[in-house]
Amino acid sequence: MKDTSNRYTISEKNTVQKLLLSWFDENQRNLPWRAGYDPYHVWISEIMGQQTQMDRVVQYYNRWMGLFPDVSSVAEAGEQEILKAWEGLGYYSRAKNIRRTAQVLMEEHDGKVPADPEILLALPGVGPYTAAAILSIAYNKPFPVLDANVERVFARLLDLDQSVKAVSVRKKLQNFAKELLPDNQARFFNQALMELGALVCRPKSPKCNCCPLTGRCQSRQRGTINLRPVRVPKAKTIEIVMACGIIVHEELIFVQQRLANDVWGSLWEFPGGRLKEGETPQQAATREILEETELTVSELRPLETVVHHYTKYRVTLHGFTCRLQGKKQTPVLHAASQYRWVSPAGLRDFPFPAGHRRLIEELFVGKNRKKRRK
């Protein structure tokens, strides 16, 4: 890789800083945590922002702050309340870590988000990126941040011919980002870089004509923008096919809570699991329900097939409605910590993984469709 250190002279560095800061001043989005840069607000926005589109972050953030306006309200909330507020954002361990961190902050730090990197890094779910974001954005301390947006801007600005994910490249980029930080302006400068990546130097079709750094961008000069950042071949997506059953009995629906240490731990679900070789989705749903609950079901009717993409996986979930067969109504749980029989409307009170939430939506859409036909 080309040497990224000391790439700019002091005067070039000053120019880049000024251009970016003034661009940010004029073009920054009106995001709610930017109103006062309260450390609690910045922390929550940063955790929510990981792998999530900004419009969704703002929507979830505003709802979250309505429910949990400060650290103490998070610390006092039950896990289910927190998971419900997070429902749909995915990566639920982030929500559980926020709650655990809030409890530590109440017990050990007077309810305040610390401004010390070592203390921050010891908190659950706070890694180097989040710590640097909190320190710079909330406390204006000189810590560079390297998120995917900033990596892309740097890769193009410097026309990097190696992947920004390579450890040695990342280290050099960290140094480059640190050298570029203006004194006492880390809050705005880091956000300017992130915002430039999000709004202008986008992954596809960057708006170079609106970019304050267009005259200094090496990949623009060399015509390599579409090759930067260098892409690493994606690992093959793993296909997973699952089936589950929404058991309806006397107008109530069976739901169970996943084991705490399982994937989607502590969320609620309809019993089900992966298809075995040669099984149809109906057969798999029937077998899984029996294995997980010892309940026997019949009259399986297809409700909806939901496809969900995760980083490495593509999950196809076949959802069925079904009825209890025989007299046994009390399950014996083998894959869950507890269960409930709830009314259809009551399903809205429980946090579900995205696929199951889609099935619930379809359940209501189907009901409304039937009502309209009558």
Asked if 195 interacts with ligand SF4 (CB under 6 A), we say no
Asked if 158 interacts with ligand SF4 (CB under 6 A), we say no
Residue 299 known to be catalytic = no
3-state secondary structure of 305: strand
> Distance between CA atoms of 246 and 324, rounded to whole angstroms?
10
Residues 117-156 that bind ligand SF4 (CB under 6 A): 153, 156
**Least separation in angstroms between CB 221 and ligand SF4:** 9
CB of 198 or CB of 248, closer to ligand SF4: 198
Asked if 200 interacts with ligand SF4 (CB under 6 A), we say yes
- Can you tell me which of 201, 255, 267, 297 binds ligand SF4, judged by CB under 6 A? 201
Which tokens go with 89?
Answer: 């954002």
CB of 157 or CB of 244, closer to ligand SF4: 157
Instruction: Please work out the total of residues on this chain that contact ligand SF4, with binding judged by CB under 6 A.
Output: 14
Do residues 134 and 42 lie in contact, with contact meaning Cβ atoms separated by under 8 Å? yes
The torsion angles phi and psi of 201, rounded to 5 degrees, stand at -85, 60
Strands (E), 53-190: none
> Distance between CA atoms of 165 and 188, rounded to whole angstroms?
25
**Least separation in angstroms between CB 183 and ligand SF4:** 23
CB of 114 or CB of 206, closer to ligand SF4: 206
> Distance between CA atoms of 21 and 180, rounded to whole angstroms?
12
313-324 and 252-258 strand pairing:
unpaired
Q: Which residues neighbour 107 within 8 Å (Cβ) at sequence distance 6 or greater?
A: none
> Distance between CA atoms of 56 and 68, rounded to whole angstroms?
18
> Distance between CA atoms of 2 and 344, rounded to whole angstroms?
60
Catalytic site residue from 12, 26, 46, 288: 46
Asked if 20 interacts with ligand SF4 (CB under 6 A), we say no
**Least separation in angstroms between CB 209 and ligand SF4:** 8
Do residues 251 and 342 lie in contact, with contact meaning Cβ atoms separated by under 8 Å? no
Site string for ligand SF4, 204-243 (x = CB under 6 A): --x-x--x-xx--x-xx----x------------------
**Least separation in angstroms between CB 216 and ligand SF4:** 8
**Least separation in angstroms between CB 16 and ligand SF4:** 11
> Distance between CA atoms of 51 and 300, rounded to whole angstroms?
36
Asked if 94 interacts with ligand SF4 (CB under 6 A), we say no
Q: Which residues bind ligand SF4 (CB under 6 A)?
A: 153, 156-157, 200-201, 206, 208, 211, 213-214, 217, 219-220, 225
Task: Give me the active site residues, please.
Answer: 46
